[in-house]
Structure 1
Amino acid sequence: MTNDQLLRYSRHILLDEIGVEGQERLARARALVIGAGGLGSPVALYLASAGVSLTLVDADAVDLTNLQRQIAHNVERLGQAKVDSARVAALAINPEVDVRALELRADAKMLDELVPASQVVLDCTDNFDTRHAINAACMRHGVPLVSGAAIRFDGQVSVFDPREASSPCYACVFPPSQAVEEARCATMGVFAPLVGIIGSTQAAEALKLLAGTGRPLTGRLLMLDALRMNWSEIRVPRDRECPVCADRAGPADSALPA
């Protein structure tokens, strides 16, 4: 680690739970961030600021309606691909990290290429089909998934880690066979700081996983009612009949210990 890097990351290095070794692990890591909007913006900025290299995936372009909450973008980059805009913002904070921008929609083939090349995956998308595809790929390749969602004044975050025998997967909590009405910001609205809070929490969970410190949200679903600023948490067990992870080694129908 160079003198400039020691200075840049000094506030992390001062933390006993991270230190030089933890910061070096962050600098060697790559995170796959799927979605470069409201959640993906703080995720990309905080991970890059901490020295984590990124692969950003999103097929959309920056629109004026995004600027109310998607802090990686600005007026000068209207019409630009969100991944390119987020890459510019991330590199403006930390030009040392490698940021790969992929302007495309996530599908099973692409995920099977990108997930194994990453140490953590962050789901910052807004539709259930993509979330289930991401979850399935993470389970196949044994890569931890940090999942976030935000709509109106309600947000949620959890970690699904196939390396942990007792960890559920996204499909254990939200079965793919369950009929779910899609809720989009374009029709339902979203409180601007909510996506910052949830996205920042996702970034924090990813950094803990990469640095090997703290207790991640594995087996727990953290929920926020931002209208009342009330956090709540529920334990989420593995489903022994889950179509995605039932065959994975380890006990089903059990949550991780407190």
Structure 2
Amino acid sequence: MTQELNDAALLRYSRHILLPEIDIDGQQRLLAARVLVVGAGGLGAPALLYLASAGVGQLTLVDDDTVELTNLQRQIIHDMGTLGQRKVDSAAARLAAINPDVQLRLLAERLAGERLVTEVAAHDLVLDCSDNFATRHAINRACVAARVPLVSGAAVRFSGQLAVYDVRDDASPCYHCLFPDEGEASDGPCATFGVLAPLVGVIGSLQAVEAIKLLAGRRPALGQLTLYDALDGSFRQLKVPRDPDCPVCGQR
């Protein structure tokens, strides 16, 4: 059920409504939106917190993992009291405490195949907050097939990256245009190489920024890869053209 902009909602979201780029119309779009977030860990934690607080109407949380002590260094949606719980349950409790009006769907599983395609097609936007290439490519293929926009983030060590893909726009690349799926199926998980705790907060928050812009009717940063180096504090934006011969999105 879509939330309504009653008096309480007008007060809750007043700082959004004051922005002419969002206003009441954009906030209503957020309230009606359905967003699929794959991963309730380092990237998913800040993204989910901001999407819920911003009033996204329905959030579907996908994660088949449980909360461990090593997660608490960076996965700020979980805490000591939820150790051993499913991550989707731990995250849902926190999100409900922030904004009880947001509808939450919990999928404690690893989506794949037709199940993944079906779930993607039932949403307005997907956030890829996973940590491996195989999952990212599967999500990308499902988003291209369903013509659903995708906000992708990644972070390891001191380096993070962000990109928005939307094949409804003829000029937009897809994830495969940037990162072919040949070779290794992992980009180096933080369990092996480590990750700076606030780095995932930076990238996950940027994913929420792009998601909210897109859902509110603003144009996201398509055809652009944002790179963040936490060691020297620099951001770089690289233009990324669509690959007309891409085996995933070349035929539209």
Structure 2: runs of 5 or more not aligned: none
Other-structure match for 1:38: 42
Other-structure match for 1:104: 109
Q: Which residue of 116, 119, 128 maps to 1:114? A: 119
Is 1:17 the equivalent of 2:44? no
User: How is 1:123-138 mapped onto 2 (pairs within 5 angstroms)?
Assistant: 123-138=128-143
Is 1:168 the equivalent of 2:176? no
Other-structure match for 1:222: 226
- State, as a whole percentage, how many aligned pairs show the same letter: 59
Count matched residues: 247
CA distance in 1, matches of 2:28, 2:217: 11
**Residues 78 and 90 of structure 2 are in contact (CA less than 8 Å); yes or no, is this contact kept in structure 1?**
yes
- Displacement of 1:207 in angstroms is 0.4
Q: Which amino acid in structure 1 is aligned with residue 52 of structure 2?
A: A
Q: Which amino acid in structure 2 is aligned with residue 32 of structure 1?
A: L
Q: Which residue of 196, 201, 205 maps to 1:191? A: 196
Is 1:60 the equivalent of 2:92? no
CA distance in 2, matches of 1:181, 1:81: 23
**Residues 137 and 176 of structure 2 are in contact (CA less than 8 Å); yes or no, is this contact kept in structure 1?**
yes
- Displacement of 1:169 in angstroms is 0.2
- Displacement of 1:181 in angstroms is 5.2
Is 1:93 the equivalent of 2:98? yes
Q: Which residue of 236, 244, 249 maps to 2:240? A: 236
Other-structure match for 1:252: none
Q: Which amino acid in structure 1 is aligned with residue 79 of structure 2?
A: N
- Return the TM-score normalized by structure 1: 0.94
Deviations 1:14-33 (A, max 9, x none): 00000001000000001100
Deviations 1:129-151 (A, max 9, x none): 10000000000000000000000
- More divergent stretch after superposition (73-82 vs 101-110): 101-110
Q: What secondary structure does 1:71 align onto? A: coil
**Residues 73 and 197 of structure 2 are in contact (CA less than 8 Å); yes or no, is this contact kept in structure 1?**
yes
Is 1:2 the equivalent of 2:9? no
**Residues 36 and 127 of structure 2 are in contact (CA less than 8 Å); yes or no, is this contact kept in structure 1?**
yes
CA distance in 2, matches of 1:181, 1:95: 36
- Return the TM-score normalized by structure 2: 0.96
**Residues 38 and 44 of structure 2 are in contact (CA less than 8 Å); yes or no, is this contact kept in structure 1?**
yes
Q: What secondary structure does 2:106 align onto? A: strand
Other-structure match for 1:256: none
- Displacement of 1:106 in angstroms is 2.0
**Residues 133 and 186 of structure 2 are in contact (CA less than 8 Å); yes or no, is this contact kept in structure 1?**
no
CA distance in 2, matches of 1:41, 1:75: 15
Deviations 1:166-224 (A, max 9, x none): 100000000112446530111100000000000000000000000012x4121000000
CA distance in 2, matches of 1:220, 1:208: 15
